[in-house]
Structure 1
Amino acid sequence: MANNFDLQEQEQLEELKHFWKTWGNLITWALIVVMGGFAAWNGWRLWQSRQAQQATALAEAVESASRSGDMARVEQAVGDLQSSYGGTVQAAQAGLLAARVMAEAGNLDGAKGVLTWVADKAGDDGLRAVARLRLAAVLVEQKAYDEALAQLSRGMTPEFSALAADRKGDVLQLQDKKPQAVEEYRRAWQAMDERVDYRRLVEAKLNALGVQPQVVAAAGAAQ
């Protein structure tokens, strides 16, 4: 019985040796690839975490400098965010804040530059849309109406499309293009939920142009 057991062990050992000789290299390389991928994934997560932490610190510096009115520090911190952490949400949010402070201080060119960067580079669609809306407002202040319309016509997410249409109406009014302005205001009014307070402001703009949106909507429904 002992001899039979020894023979069975020997056969199993030989089978194991044969298996390892045949598949050992492949198994080893597979383990290397799996472990390497796991290490790379962990390293990437760690890098992302550090990027976010450092970007947050600079964003807080922008906020602090904005409160104190230190425009030089605002511009420096935003520049650092753009050059080193441009893909982070924190950079885009800080850019929106910095642009607002610049515009309020009368630095429209500075605000325009930062908002253009956020609109083009932010990783979040919503933040890009907000940047374009604010950039359009700055361009209107600079009387660059066609540029403002161009910003409002691109990259708008559905939740911002009504506001974009309203802003287009404002710009078209400034260009003395009443029919086109009415069309944009009507589009904004129809897209907004009736419970939204801002809808009443859009309605007032239409009323000022001689249009009753409820009457138009009722006529369209009847047809």
Structure 2
Amino acid sequence: MELKPIPIDSHPTQPPARGEVLSSHVPEVARVLRNTYALLSLTLLFSAAVATTGMVLKLPAPGLLLTLGGYFGLLFVVYRFKDSGWAIPAVFALTGFMGYTLGPLLAKMAGLPGGAQVIAMALGATGATFLALSAWVLATKRDFSFMGGFLFAGMVIALLGGLGAIFFQVPALGLAVSAMVALLSAALILYETSRIVNGGESNYVLATVGLYVSIFNLFTSLLSLFGLGGGDD
């Protein structure tokens, strides 16, 4: 199940013009970028460790209701404490929980013929996509803030479509949703990175969560597509 938090803008008092970063915002942007990528690296490693532990211990899948409840509940906690010292523990709780939900999916995929290769392909494609898109935005400083409403609407449609595929047992719909989410996740990486670069996001905790969830969604979507639905739960 692909999930995406509702974007919450944290604009500075006087945001820069589209596609430009005012000189007075450059130090702040550099600080947010540095802290975001540092925290993102740590959360990805932590999430991967939790997922690997789940695979080794063969932990059961949490189920749809627990997954949705845990995700949105922890996401609420992150936003509630985004400006306090509890923000970092909340982020690790959220990413650790998402790693836990990923463990059974990876275990199932690894048990299929060629499953290890599928996981490696999805992981490599996710990493290459994230690095390429991030590098492009950092180099060009393009502003993709105009995409926010479209991307949010697309993710809502994808979430409803994914629920429909689960309840009505339609594998073809599930694959179509995975393809849609993969494209939306790539676009969200552009959107979220451009917001940081252009001074539209000054809270590195929220920036980290946004990028992490986009990467998570991209990986699980590619896993389903490369596995021809084998990892579609």
TM-score greater than 0.5 by the shorter chain: no
RCO comparison, higher one (Cα < 8 Å, 6+)? 2
TM-score scaled by length of structure 2: 0.23
Highest Rg: 1 or 2? 1
More helix by share: 1
Query: TM-score, structure 1 length as denominator?
Result: 0.24
